[in-house]
Amino acid sequence: MKLVKVAAGVLNQTPLDWDQNRDNILQAIQTAKSQNVSVLCLPELCITGYGCEDAFHSTGVQQTAIDLLLEILPATQGIAVSVGLPISYAGGIFNTAALLVDGKIAGFVAKQHLAGDGIHYEPRWFKAWPSGVQGEVELNGDEYPIGDILFEVGGVRIGFEICEDAWVGSRPGGQLAAKGTDIILNPSASHFAFGKHEVRQRFVLEGSRAFNVTYVYANLVGNESGRAIFDGDAMIATGGQMVAIGPRLSYQPTMVTTFVVDINLTRMNRAKTGSFQPEIDGDESDVIHVDFEISPAELQQPDVEPVSWLAGPDVKAEEFTRAVCLGLFDYMRKSHSCGFVVSLSGGCDSASIVALVAIMVKLVSDELGFETACERMGWFVSGKHQPKDEAELMKRLLTTVYQATQNSGSVTRNAAKDVANAVNATHHEFDVEPIAENYRNIVSEAIGEPLTWDKHDITLQNIQARVRSPSVWMLANLNNALLVSTSNRSEAAVGYATMDGDTSGGISPVAGIDKAFLREWLSWMEREGPDGFDPIPALKAVNDQQPTAELRPADQKQTDEDDLMPYEVLDAAECFAIRDKLMPAEVLQRLELEFSGFSRKQLGLWTIRFFKLWCRNQWKRERYAPSFHLDDKNLDPKTWCRFPILSGGFKRELALLEKDLAS
């Protein structure tokens, strides 16, 4: 047997936070060395951070990354470590993984397949390295190999698939296997999305089986740069068997997952595989030989017991809770904010955000311990005594305010108060009707006529939402806190939100999720809650209501779905039209199949309404506060779904559909 202890290191990095990124890397290396690891894989671009955007073009950023590489180098005495950074070569910038062995740079493997779809924009900054090409790069007067290379370290061959390299049909792993590679390292920056963990597991397992190698996958964790949340998957598979999986969606700044693998076993399995054909042309120019003695290791049993919440029936609800809570936590501390302010209307969206902040505190305290959790929120507790318990922490961390106009009712007022009290938020009630009335009087006098509901409906609704914004911004300023926008994705699709009113804020955490799911999730939070935590029964007062903007007089009995359409229909129309890019008539065909309880004419009218509202309101989506990416139905125009602000609005297609419905 030839036993090697390998490890996947997960890091919570921040773009251009040089010292913290370096310290996290050093901590992971120290942890691995303390556990006698010989080969450690760290995530993609972990020195700079993955989300540096156009800062990657800066020669100063590139040089600082090299400077940090040299600072990290001495810590790699007695271990082989891969770290990611951008490298300039032949006039281009390449996304590389540097292999550091025993205090020396062995070389740089360059990424061959760049992620350029969805939220990824790598081709804007990096060039794809061609397969089979090697070169030499000069760093501070010394030359090192770069390109499509593999390393022989202490008699063990180590190759790389860097993130996207493993997601394509022409994976580099096939060529690496033909050259006798024993271990494939995959340093990744793979964003969270519902169900994505299972996809990653499949390609890690299949890579280890098809290539007869040990496969080590290491991902980032946390909200790195604002919109993407990384879930920190760490996986080790060998010979088609998953032998180690690390925690997901953790609040730890670093984690190391290890396992001892038998290199001779994977070599034997490869040799006896009938389809395996080694590359024996005698050309070893792409193999970098490194003189290093790998430490002996002892056999261990696989430990891949599933996390309890991943094994339950409510995986999507659990993933949503834990991903958004982690996203909020990192967004708060990395923006140097001291908490959150929420305009709590007593409705579903704002109540969901309050529940998420409450669960966030419980999750981070449960994992790290209360004192350590407070330390991680260093900006929050700066200059003040540390809270004595979670209740006091919540009082400081979360401020909510119910802002009433003449159209607000006691049901929403009491629901807001009950929810705020249930989570120990600091809660206020403001009467903003005099402010709204003042604006109405000013404008009425200016135009020479009174504003009435039959002639000025939208104007009178919007002013109520807008006058609520200045006061919550004041609270956010007073507390040095984040004002949280409460709009969801369904509302964003049709512009059912008041700009500079309920869209006000520095973060919009539920803008990436549809209203139908959010209502289901809030009911789940009322009855069950995340694994290991209590539900919030006070949410019943919210869940018992029909969603309403509550901006028209009470006798009009305003509801969101009367203004728009049933949320389930809206979400399906959005999915078919925006995700699947179907035209209006095609969307109607799909809706007819899915919602047989409604007439074709009614579904057709809702389809027309959806497309008209979608096209008119792109400008609103352009102005939304940053939201978290959660699935492939994201509407964020800056990272996922681009649409012209000005367009023809499907006039031709909708006219044909209207004609068809009238016949």
Q: With helix as H, strand as E and coil as C, how does 517-545 read?
A: HHHHHHHHHHHCCCCCCCCCHHHHHHHCC
pLDDT for the residue numbered 333: 95
Average of pLDDT values for 115-138? 95
Residues in CB range of 77: below 8 A, 6 or more apart = 102, 103
Q: What is the pTM of this model?
A: 0.95
Locus of tokens 């080969």: 39
With contact defined as beta carbons under 8 Å apart, do 401 and 471 qualify?
A: yes
Indicate the length of the chain as a whole number.
663
Residues in CB range of 287: below 8 A, 6 or more apart = 149, 150, 151, 152, 157, 179
Q: What CATH number matches the domain at 314-553, 3.40.50.300, 3.30.450.40, 3.40.50.620, 3.40.50.2300? A: 3.40.50.620
For the chain, which residues make up each domain, given as ranges?
3-305, 314-553, 565-663
Confidence band, pLDDT 50/70/90 cuts, at residue 379: low
Locus of tokens 């996203």: 327
Alpha-carbon distance 71 to 644, whole Å?
46
Locus of tokens 């990611």: 84
With contact defined as beta carbons under 8 Å apart, do 211 and 177 qualify?
A: yes
The per-residue pLDDT for range 609-624, each reduced to its tens digit, is 999 999 999 999 999 9
Tokens representing 57? 């073009």
Confidence band, pLDDT 50/70/90 cuts, at residue 581: very high
Sort strands 150-153 and 142-147 into parallel, antiparallel or unpaired: unpaired
Quote the DSSP letter at residue 169: S
SS3 87: strand
Alpha-carbon distance 634 to 520, whole Å?
19
pLDDT for the residue numbered 386: 80
Average of pLDDT values for 189-198? 95
Hey, which bits of 30-178 come out as E strands?
39-41, 80-89, 92-101, 104-110, 134-139, 142-147, 150-153, 156-160
Crossing angle of helices 348-368 and 515-527, rounded to 10°: 50
Query: Which is more confident, 405 or 381?
Result: 405
The per-residue pLDDT for range 540-559, each reduced to its tens digit, is 999 999 888 777 888 888 88
Cα of 239 vs its chain's centroid, Å: 31
Confidence band, pLDDT 50/70/90 cuts, at residue 380: low
Tokens representing 475? 């609270």
Locus of tokens 């006698």: 36
pLDDT for the residue numbered 467: 96
With contact defined as beta carbons under 8 Å apart, do 248 and 231 qualify?
A: yes
Confidence band, pLDDT 50/70/90 cuts, at residue 383: low
**Distance of CA 462 to CAs 408, 432, 476, 488, 502, Å?**
14, 13, 22, 18, 10
Average of pLDDT values for 204-225? 96
Q: Do the first three CATH levels of 3-305 and 314-553 match, i.e. the same topology? A: no
Q: How many helices (H) and strands (E) does the chain have?
A: 24, 21
pLDDT for the residue numbered 469: 97
- Does the domain spanning 565-663 belong to CATH 3.30.450? no
* Domain at 3-305: CATH architecture: 4-Layer Sandwich (3.60)
Average of pLDDT values for 163-173? 95
Torsion of CA 518, 524, 526, 528, to 10 degrees: -150
With contact defined as beta carbons under 8 Å apart, do 43 and 84 qualify?
A: yes
Residues in CB range of 108: below 8 A, 6 or more apart = 87, 94, 96, 97, 98, 99, 137, 144, 145, 146, 147
Average of pLDDT values for 494-518? 95
Closest CA to 134 of 343, 284, 293, 239: 284
User: For residue 249, is it left (φ>0), alpha (ψ between -120 and 50) or beta?
Assistant: left
Sort strands 287-290 and 254-262 into parallel, antiparallel or unpaired: unpaired
Closest CA to 427 of 416, 436, 442: 416
pLDDT for the residue numbered 265: 92
SS3 161: coil
The per-residue pLDDT for range 306-344, each reduced to its tens digit, is 677 887 789 999 999 999 999 999 999 999 999 999 999
pLDDT for the residue numbered 382: 53
Radius of gyration over alpha carbons of the chain, in Å? 28
Tokens representing 316? 């999507």
Angle, CA of 297, 301 and 304, to the nearest 5°: 120
With contact defined as beta carbons under 8 Å apart, do 238 and 214 qualify?
A: yes
Alpha-carbon distance 13 to 579, whole Å?
31
Residues in CB range of 480: below 8 A, 6 or more apart = 337, 338, 339
pLDDT for the residue numbered 310: 80
Residue 209: Cβ-neighbour burial (10 angstroms; 0-12, 13-18, 19+): middle
Closest CA to 291 of 36, 37, 103: 103
Hey, which bits of 287-397 come out as E strands?
287-290, 340-343
pLDDT for the residue numbered 84: 98
| Strand order through the sheet with 104-110 | 134-139, 142-147, 104-110, 92-101, 80-89, 39-41, 3-11, 254-262
The per-residue pLDDT for range 385-438, each reduced to its tens digit, is 788 899 999 999 999 999 999 999 999 999 999 999 999 999 999 999 999 999
Quote the DSSP letter at residue 88: E
With contact defined as beta carbons under 8 Å apart, do 606 and 571 qualify?
A: no
Which amino acid does the sequence have at 328? L
SS3 488: coil
Maximum Cα–Cα distance for the chain, whole Å?
92
Residues in CB range of 210: below 8 A, 6 or more apart = 173, 174, 177
Helix (H) or strand (E) holding 199: helix 196-210
DSSP string, 234-268: EEEEETTEEEEE--SS---SEEEEEEEEEHHHHHH
Confidence band, pLDDT 50/70/90 cuts, at residue 298: confident
Which amino acid does the sequence have at 304? V
Alpha-carbon distance 414 to 184, whole Å?
58
